[in-house]
Amino acid sequence: MRIQDIGERELISIIHRLQARPPMGYIGIGDDAAFIPPSAKGILISQDMLVENLHFRLDWMTPEQLGEKAVAVNVSDIAAMGGTPLSLLTSLSVPSSLDVDWVESLYRGIAKALDRYGVVLVGGDTVGSQDRITLDVTVIGEPGPFGPILKTGARPGDRLFVSGRLGAAYAGFTLLSHGVTWPSTVVAERSVLMAHITPMARVRVGQQVGPWAHALTDISDGLVSELEEITRFGGIGAVIFEDRLPIDQATQAMAARFHSRATDFALFGGEDYELLAAVPPSRVTEVQEIEARTGVVMTEIGVITEKPGVRMASTEGEKEHVVQGQIYNHFPVA
C-alpha cells in the first residue's frame, strides 16, 4: 500500500501507534504543539537534517537502520553538551508513491533507538515530497549539573580524550562506495559497515566526562575539523599524537585494502560520533575511570597548546616530535 492510498492523517496514526506513550505531564503528537514539563536546568536543543542521496542512500541501509541512525546522530549532539536526551520531534518529507511499509519500518527504527536512549517522540510533521526523502530531527535534552559543556573553553595543557575508535565509519563508507553492502559475512566488513550505518551516541560518556571537561564536542565532521572548532577561539592550538589514535583492526584492514592510511580515516573521516573532550591534567584519572564504568574505551590522543593550529606528533623513543607545522587535509572528498 502506498501513502497516497491512506492519506496523511492515517499515516500519522500509524506512526503514533508505533511509539511508546510519553510519560505523564508530556503532551505529545496530535496537538498544535508538544508540551514538555519544566526543567530547572534549562533545555538543550539541536536539529539535524538528513537528505536522501546526500546523507543516506536507500540501497545502503534499511529504513529501520535509517531511523536508528537519525536518532543517534541527533542524540549525539546532546551527548556532546554533556546532557541527557529527553524528547524528539521528526519532520519527514516523502513522495506519496512510497510504500507505507517503508515509513512504518523507519519509525520502528526510530522507536528502537528512542527506547535505547530513553527518549520519547513528542511531535513533528509529515509532508509530501516530489521525489526525495528528507528527514529532519529535533532533539531536546537537559544539561548536566554544571550546565552545558561547550566547544569553546579548552586551555593550553588540557589533555585531549576521545571515546571509542576513530575512522571506522569512514571505512564503512568506503566499503559502501565500492559496492559492498550490509550485511556482509566478513567480520571486519560487518564491523565498519555497522559503524557507518548504525553509530551509537555516547550519552553516558558525555554525562560522565562533562563535569571534568573544559570543552566537549562530538566528532561528526572528522577529528581535525572538530579540533579546529575547539581551538578556533582563544588563539590556542592542539597537537595530536599519531601513534595513540584509537584505530581498530577492521579499520586498519579496510584502509590497507583501499590503499589508504587508516590514520587519515581517523583524522579526517566523518560520522564517527565519538566524543572529543579537553580535560585539565588534574582530571585525567577521573576520565580514565569512565572507561571501566561505561565499557567505552577512552584514549588520550593529544594536548591543547598555546601555539595555534592543529599539528601532529609522533613518538620516537620516549620523546614526541611535532612532525609538521599544520595538518593538511589531503583526504579525497567523499
Binding site for its own copies (CB under 8 A): 25, 27, 30-51, 53-55, 76-78, 80-81, 83, 89-93, 122-125, 127-132, 134, 136, 138-141, 143, 147-148, 150-152, 217-218
Contacts of 207 (CB under 8 A, 6+ apart): 79, 82, 83, 84, 144
216 and 206 Cβ atoms separated by less than 8 Å: yes
Residue 106 or 192: which CB sits closer to its own copies? 106
Q: How far is the CB of 124 from its own copies (least distance, A)?
A: 5
Least distance to its own copies, CB of residue 75, Å: 10
For its own copies, the closer of residues 134 and 184 by Cβ is 134
Residue number with CB closer to its own copies (171 or 230): 230
Nearest to 9 by CA among 111, 127, 93: 127
- Contact, 121 vs 87, CB < 8 A? yes
Minimum distance, C-beta of residue 59 to its own copies, in the bound complex (Å): 16
- Closer to its own copies by CB, 171 or 202: give it: 202
Closer residue to its own copies in complex, CB, 34/194: 34
Instruction: Please state the closest distance from residue 23 (CB atom) to its own copies, in A.
Output: 13
Q: State the CB neighbour count (10 A cutoff) for residue 313.
A: 19
128-to-57, 203, 226, 246 alpha-carbon distances in Å: 19, 33, 35, 43
Query: What are the two backbone dihedrals, phi and then psi, of residue 44, each rounded to the nearest 5 degrees?
Result: -105, 140
**Shortest Å distance, C-beta 131 to its own copies:** 8
* 129 vs 288 by CB, closer to its own copies: 129
Residues 6+ apart with CB under 8 A from 253: 188
Cβ 320 to its own copies, closest distance in Å?
A: 30
- HSE-up of 280 (CA within 13 Å, CB side)? 7
